[in-house]
Structure 1
Amino acid sequence: MKIRYTLLLVFCCGLLINCTEEKNTDFQISGDQVGRLSKQSLARDIELIFEKDSVVQDTVKLNFGNGASKIKIFERGGALLLTLTPNNDSIATIQNVMVNDERFVTDKGISKLSTFKEIRENYPIKKIISAINNVVVLLKDSDLYFTIDKKELPESLRYNANSTIEEVQIPDTAKVKYMMVGWD
C-alpha cells in the first residue's frame, strides 16, 4: 500500500512539472520576432498572422498594384498594436515595425514606456543619430532602435540638427517616443 502512494505521489509530481504554464508570446520582442510576426513573415500573410486582429492597409496603393505602404494592426476593440512597412521586393517581407502598444516587451523588460536609463542599462548603444526633432538610439547587435523627442533633451541640444549628441547628454528620464524594429 505504501508503494502505491509513493508511485501516485511521483506520478502527480511528474504531471505538475510537465504542466507548466505556457508563456504567451503575443507581446514578446526577441531577436527576429515581434509578437506573432517574424523576420521571415511575408507581407501577403499578414492577414493570416493577425487573423484575430484587424489589419488596415492603404487601399489607394493596393488598387494601383504597388502593395501597401503602411499596414496597421489593430487589436479587436480598437487599440493600435503595430505599424508595419513592407519592403518593395518581388516577394515582400516586413522591413520596419513600429511598436505602438506598450504591452510589447523585450526579453530584458524594455517597452515603449521605458526611459533612456533603462535602455542604457540593458543594452549597449551603438550610435546616436540627431535629426531635426528627434534623436535615434541604435543598439549594438540588435534590430531594435528607439526615437527620443528632442523636447526631452536639455535646451542647448534641441535646436541644432547637425550637433553630435553623446550618450551622457541624454537625461536618464528621457522617454521613448517610438520603439522600432528594422529588418534588412
Structure 2
Amino acid sequence: MKRILFIALIASISLTSCNSDNAFTITADQVGPLTKDTQVSELKTLFSKDSVVDQNSGLSEELNVNAIEIYEKGGEQLLSLMPTKEGSPKTIKTIQIFDARYTTEEGINLNSTFKDITDAYEVSRVETLISSIVIFVDEINAYFTIDRDELPGELKFNMDAKVSTAEIPSDAKIKYFMIGW
C-alpha cells in the first residue's frame, strides 16, 4: 500500500511540474521537466500533453543515431533529445532547444544575443568551426552556436581563424541552443 501511495505521489509531482511555471525553465540540472537522470522511458509521461516522436527503432536503436523529438500539440517542435548510447536505463545526453519559451533563470533563450549571454554568464570557451562558432557556458551546461555570417569581415571568410569572445559582435544571434549533460 505504501508503494502505491509513493508511486501516486511521484506521478502527481511529475504532472504538476509539467504544468507549472517550471515547464520552460532551464538550469544547470533541468530543462523543463527533464533532468540528467530522466529516463527515455519516462518521456511519454512527462510530455503527456505533447507529441513524443521516437525515431529509435531497429538498427538505429542499437546505434542510438536518431534523436527523440518533442512537439507541442499543434505541431511546433519544442525539443530534440539525444539519448545516451550506453548504459541502462537510457537517459538524455543532449537537448536542443527549439522553442524560445525555454529560458534560463538569467533570461537567456533562442532570441538572445551574444551580449545577453555574456551579461548573464561567464563564457567558458569558444570553439571555431568551419561554418560557425560555439560558445560554451559550463555554469549551465549549455552551448550556443553562432553562424559565421554574424562575424565581421575577415573572420566571416577565414575558416582557419580562431575567434575570441572580443571578436564576436554583441548583436550576434544564437542559431542553436543546446544543453549537454
Runs of 4 or more consecutive aligned structure 1 residues displaced over 6 Å after TM superposition:
none
Q: Which residue of the partner structure matches residue 166 of structure 1?
A: 164
Rounded to whole Å, the distance in 1 between the matches of 2:174 and 2:165 is 14
1:63 to 39, 58, 66: 58
The answer to whether the aligner puts 1:38 opposite 2:35 as a matched pair is yes
Q: Which residue of the partner structure matches residue 176 of structure 2?
A: 178
SS in 2 for 1:117: helix
Q: Which residue of the partner structure matches residue 74 of structure 2?
A: 77
1:108-131 Cα offsets, whole Å, 9 max, x none, are 000000000010111001100000
1:146 to 124, 140, 144: 144
Contact 1:28 1:107 in 2 (8 A): yes
TM-score (norm 2): 0.83
The 5 Å alignment of 1:109-120 reads: 109-120=107-118
Percent identity over the alignment? 36
Question: Greater helix share, 1 or 2?
Answer: 2
Alpha-carbon distance, 1:23 to partner: 5.3
Q: Which residue of the partner structure matches residue 53 of structure 1?
A: 50
Alpha-carbon distance, 1:176 to partner: 0.3
Unaligned 5+ runs, structure 1: 1-21
Alpha-carbon distance, 1:143 to partner: 0.4
| Structural RMSD (CA) | 1.6
- Does 104-113 or 66-75 show the bigger shift? 66-75
Contact 2:27 2:140 in 1 (8 A): no
Contact 1:134 1:150 in 2 (8 A): yes
Rounded to whole Å, the distance in 1 between the matches of 2:139 and 2:171 is 24
User: Larger radius of gyration, structure 1 or 2?
Assistant: 1
